[in-house]
Amino acid sequence: MKKNILYLLLGILALTSSCQDPEYVLPTADRQGITSLTALFTSGPYVDKEAVVYTIADASVDKYVIPMPWYYPENSDNETSEYMKAMRIQAKLAPNCTIEPVLSILDLTKENYFTYTDAQGYKKQICITGERVKSTKCQLLSFSIPSEDITGIIDEDHKTVSLISAEDLSSCLADYSLSAHATMSPDPKTEPLNFNSPVELTVIAHDGVTKQTYTIQKAVPDKIPYGYRKGSETELFKLDMGVIGLPWTGANAPSLAVSGNNLVVCLGDGTTTPAYYNASTGNKIGNVTLGSVSVASLGCMTSDSRGNILLATKATNGKSFSIYKTSSVTTAPTLLTTYTNNTGLDMGTKVSVQGDINTNASIIATCDGTASSGSNKFVRWIITDGVLGSPQVVTVNGVGNWGAPASNTKVVTKGTTAQSDYFLSYYDSNILYWVNGTNNNASKSLEDSDNGNSWAMNNNCLDTRSFNNAQYLVLVCTAHFPQWGGTPCLYMYDVTSDGSFTGTISTSDALSFNPSLSSYNSSDGVAATGDVLLAPTTDGYKLRAYYVDNNCKVIGGYEFDCIDK
């Protein structure tokens, strides 16, 4: 009986409580309830893009001045002054804090007043305005002496640049790249300098105040004995394909190449001329010189370990497949080889190269699957002492079959001979295979990732390179569903030997680098295509990894070094 009375009282209490006004939820932190303000464009080519996210650290202020970047994107010459009068402002608030009237489109050239109410009901007047600010970034990103084919080794920690050379550098012009809109004094692009002795160059930020001085000197930095230096991992840039003006369609099958300090992006859509960007900053420089190569027939591009570029055409079964080569983004390509495609499958969307095509190299063109049947074939050319061998059609055993167009694979090899081991992975098994090059049987594998999102990933973008006595393999998994928060994944493995090549893609002991990547797209995907490329610098001190994910509209790059510090 007592128990029944207790239940009755609890029920009455619950009923009366449900009729009361809801209580305020206390803020999660003892601070100002406005934690950030975001300004978005409402017009122009970057409509709905975030111009700036202003994080508010001072809880006592009642005037918020949003720092609008002088240019957008930062590395462009597009001034933001014309957009300041109509910016959409969004606030991030602690629980039960409010701003009245509701934030919407504001003129940031004026002071806009609102009433802010915190979670305890305390009210105060606040002001939101804005001002354009110039960048304070003043970093030297690359330095070279083109006349002597010397690329400087930048030690950002000690602000030094080492020139590895025994030549006379008494009167040389230099090339360099800096943080966006920064300048250098003196300017070695226009004033020849004597680099036989140490030279101090000052990088001045766009604000004209912030600066850093670098010492340029002849030197040969010491290397660590093996691989890249842990802690040297540096993000170079990440670009929004929409912001940099690349078309976004389901026809995109992007591929990457590197020549010198130029990063090439080829969309493979049959209509867009490949463009090249500063490989250190991501700034667009121009379009690739194609010469007689037709954009309509171009399938993909890639590059070898010395910066020679290969251009491959698309070819259905029975048609002619061609590979062109060039040593520069501004030099018209010449024909390397033509092959009548007799594989029964399409070719030209995925091509890789290992080694130096002028000496010893291995070129692999993956054969795509079809709607009715998959593929387990690729075509390979071996270059020995600069002589191109005959094409070899290779069938891979023990790996199943991949498809096309988005679900094919990029086969990449460890070495430059027909017996070199190689790697592949494809959707939707998403298993990373290590294949024995002698018998073409899968010898080892990393199982599908156990991080919970592999079902939404397309694990088929690969590349491999030797760097400082180590061999690295990189796998990029593009996202099928960016509209559900999907982002690409990047995994870099040490595959010098196969001893640690066990476990899963995301947990293998061979895994050496696995950063979090971003997406610039929240709408439905159109094609989960992409590419990844490892590019060692010719001086042997740095390794760069570049990636592109079409669905997520992102192009990015990382850099590693082997300098003994």
How would you classify residue 454: left for phi > 0, otherwise alpha for psi between -120 and 50, otherwise beta? Answer: alpha
Q: Quick check: 309 and 266 in contact, CB under 8 A?
A: no
pLDDT at res. 9: 37
Which candidate, 168, 270, 164, places its Cα nearest to that of 218? Answer: 164
Task: Give the separation between CA 332 and CA 323, rounded to whole angstroms.
Answer: 13
pLDDT in tens, 205-218: 999 999 999 999 99
Task: Say if residue 29's pLDDT is above 90.
Answer: no
* Mean pLDDT, residues 350-367: 98
Burial readout 235-262 (b: 16 or more C-beta within 10 A, e: otherwise): ebbebbbebbebebeebbbbbbbbbbbb
Terminal Cα-to-Cα distance of the chain (whole angstroms): 79
Full-model pTM: 0.86
* Mean pLDDT, residues 165-185: 95
pLDDT at res. 32: 56
Pairing of strands 530-536, 542-549: antiparallel
Task: Say if residue 8's pLDDT is above 60.
Answer: no
Max CA pair span of the chain: 103
Which candidate, 347, 344, 343, places its Cα nearest to that of 363? Answer: 347
**Coil/strand/helix, residue 2:** helix
Task: Give the separation between CA 562 and CA 263, rounded to whole angstroms.
Answer: 22
Task: Give the separation between CA 454 and CA 144, rounded to whole angstroms.
Answer: 42
Which candidate, 393, 405, 399, 392, places its Cα nearest to that of 444? Answer: 399
Based on its alpha-carbon atoms, the radius of gyration of the chain, rounded to whole angstroms, reads: 28
Task: Give the separation between CA 204 and CA 178, rounded to whole angstroms.
Answer: 9
Phi, psi for 430 (deg, rounded to 5): 55, 40
Which candidate, 138, 133, 129, places its Cα nearest to that of 69? Answer: 133
Dig out the tokens for 304 from the structure: 């070898």
* Mean pLDDT, residues 290-318: 97
Task: Say if residue 4's pLDDT is above 90.
Answer: no
* Mean pLDDT, residues 264-289: 96
pLDDT in tens, 103-137: 999 999 999 999 999 999 999 999 999 999 999 99
pLDDT at res. 367: 98
pLDDT in tens, 397-456: 999 999 988 999 999 999 999 999 999 999 999 999 999 999 999 999 999 998 878 899
Instruction: Read off the pLDDT band of 370 (50, 70, 90).
Output: confident
Which candidate, 295, 306, 255, 249, places its Cα nearest to that of 276? Answer: 255
Q: Domains of the chain, with CATH numbers?
A: 34-133 (2.60.40.2340), 140-218 (2.60.40.2340), 234-561 (2.120.10.10)
Task: Give the separation between CA 550 and CA 192, rounded to whole angstroms.
Answer: 43
Task: Say if residue 371's pLDDT is above 90.
Answer: no
Could you tell me the sign of the dihedral formed by the alpha carbons of 344, 350, 354, 359, in that order?
Answer: positive
pLDDT at res. 372: 78
Question: Which residues partner with 536 through β-bridges?
Answer: 543
pLDDT at res. 23: 33
Distances 16 to 11, 21, 23, 499 between C-alpha atoms, Å: 9, 11, 14, 67
